[in-house]
Structure 1
Amino acid sequence: MDFHPDETQQAISRLAAEVVAGAGTPERLWKGLGQAGLLTLGAPEREGGAGLGVLETALVLVEIGRGAAALPALRIDGTSLTIEDPKDQHPDWVRWEATSRPAPHPLTVAAACALGAGALAGALDLTARHIRTREQFGRPLATFQAVAQQIADVYIASRTLHLAVLSACWWLDAERAGDGRMGDGRTGDGRAGDGRAGNGRQAGDDLAVAAQWLTAEAPPALRACHHLHGGLGLMIDYPLHRHTTLIRDLVRFLGGAEQALSTLGERCVPRPD
Structure 2
Amino acid sequence: MDFTPTEAQAEARDLAARIFGDLTTHERLKAAGTGSDPELFKALCAAGLVGAVAELGLLGLVLLLEEQGRTTAQVPYAATCVYGLLAVTAHGTPEQRERLLPGIEDGSVVVAGAFPAQGGVRACVRGELTGTVPLVPWLRDATHVLVADTDRRLWLAPLGEGTGITPVELTAPWSAARLTLDGAPADHLGGPDAYADVLATARTAFAGLQAGVCAGALARAVAHTNTREQFGRPLATRQAVQLRAADAHMDTEAIRVTAYEAAWWRDAGLPYATHALTAAWWASEAGQRVVHTGQHLHGGAGADLDHPVHRHFLWGRQLDAYLGCGAEVLQELGELIAHGE
TM-score for the superposition, normalised by structure 2: 0.64
Matched residues, number: 238
Counterpart of 1:195?
A: none
The separation in 1 between residues aligned to 2:175 and 2:277, in whole angstroms, is: 18
* One-letter amino acid of the structure 2 residue matched with residue 143 of structure 1: T
* One-letter amino acid of the structure 2 residue matched with residue 63 of structure 1: E
1:263 aligns with 2:332: yes
What is the aligned-residue identity percentage? 35
Counterpart of 2:128?
A: none
1:71: how far off?
A: 4.8
1:15 aligns with 2:20: no
1:158 aligns with 2:252: yes
RMSD over equivalenced CA pairs, Å: 2.6
Q: Secondary structure at the match of 1:29?
A: helix
1:97: how far off?
A: 4.4
* One-letter amino acid of the structure 2 residue matched with residue 33 of structure 1: L
The separation in 1 between residues aligned to 2:286 and 2:235, in whole angstroms, is: 24
Counterpart of 1:35?
A: 46
Counterpart of 2:145?
A: 91
Against the structure 1 CA distance between its residues 97 and 122, is the aligned structure 2 distance closer, same or farther, given a 3 Å change threshold?
same
1:56-135 maps to which residues of 2 (within 5 A)? 56-72=60-76, 73-74=79-80, 75=84, 76-79=87-90, 85=110, 86=138, 87-92=141-146, 97=176, 105-135=199-229
Report if the CA contact (8 A) 2:41-2:75 is conserved.
no
The separation in 1 between residues aligned to 2:273 and 2:146, in whole angstroms, is: 23
1:16: how far off?
A: 0.4
Counterpart of 2:277?
A: 208
Against the structure 1 CA distance between its residues 66 and 237, is the aligned structure 2 distance closer, same or farther, given a 3 Å change threshold?
same
Report if the CA contact (8 A) 2:5-2:60 is conserved.
no
1:136: how far off?
A: 1.1
1:231-242 maps to which residues of 2 (within 5 A)? 231-242=300-311
The separation in 2 between residues aligned to 1:256 and 1:118, in whole angstroms, is: 19
Report if the CA contact (8 A) 2:40-2:75 is conserved.
no
* One-letter amino acid of the structure 2 residue matched with residue 30 of structure 1: F
Whichever of the two has the greater Rg, that structure is 2
* One-letter amino acid of the structure 1 residue matched with residue 44 of structure 2: L
The separation in 2 between residues aligned to 1:206 and 1:215, in whole angstroms, is: 14
1:96: how far off?
A: 8.5
* One-letter amino acid of the structure 1 residue matched with residue 318 of structure 2: D
The separation in 1 between residues aligned to 2:145 and 2:293, in whole angstroms, is: 38
The separation in 1 between residues aligned to 2:340 and 2:177, in whole angstroms, is: 32
List per-residue Cα deviations over 1:16-63 (Å, max 9, x = no partner): 0110111144123102111111012223xxxxxxx3311112211111
Report if the CA contact (8 A) 1:109-1:211 is conserved.
yes
**Unaligned ranges ≥5, structure 2:** 29-36, 92-100, 111-137, 148-155, 157-173, 179-194
Report if the CA contact (8 A) 1:98-1:253 is conserved.
no
Q: Secondary structure at the match of 1:91?
A: strand
Report if the CA contact (8 A) 2:58-2:263 is conserved.
yes
Against the structure 1 CA distance between its residues 215 and 96, is the aligned structure 2 distance closer, same or farther, given a 3 Å change threshold?
farther
List per-residue Cα deviations over 1:116-163 (Å, max 9, x = no partner): 111111111111111111111111111111100000000000011001
Report if the CA contact (8 A) 2:9-2:56 is conserved.
no
Report if the CA contact (8 A) 2:8-2:56 is conserved.
no
Against the structure 1 CA distance between its residues 96 and 205, is the aligned structure 2 distance closer, same or farther, given a 3 Å change threshold?
farther
TM-score for the superposition, normalised by structure 1: 0.79
Which range moved further: 67-76 or 165-174? Answer: 67-76
Against the structure 1 CA distance between its residues 36 and 71, is the aligned structure 2 distance closer, same or farther, given a 3 Å change threshold?
closer
Greater strand share, structure number? 2
* One-letter amino acid of the structure 1 residue matched with residue 237 of structure 2: T
Counterpart of 2:127?
A: none
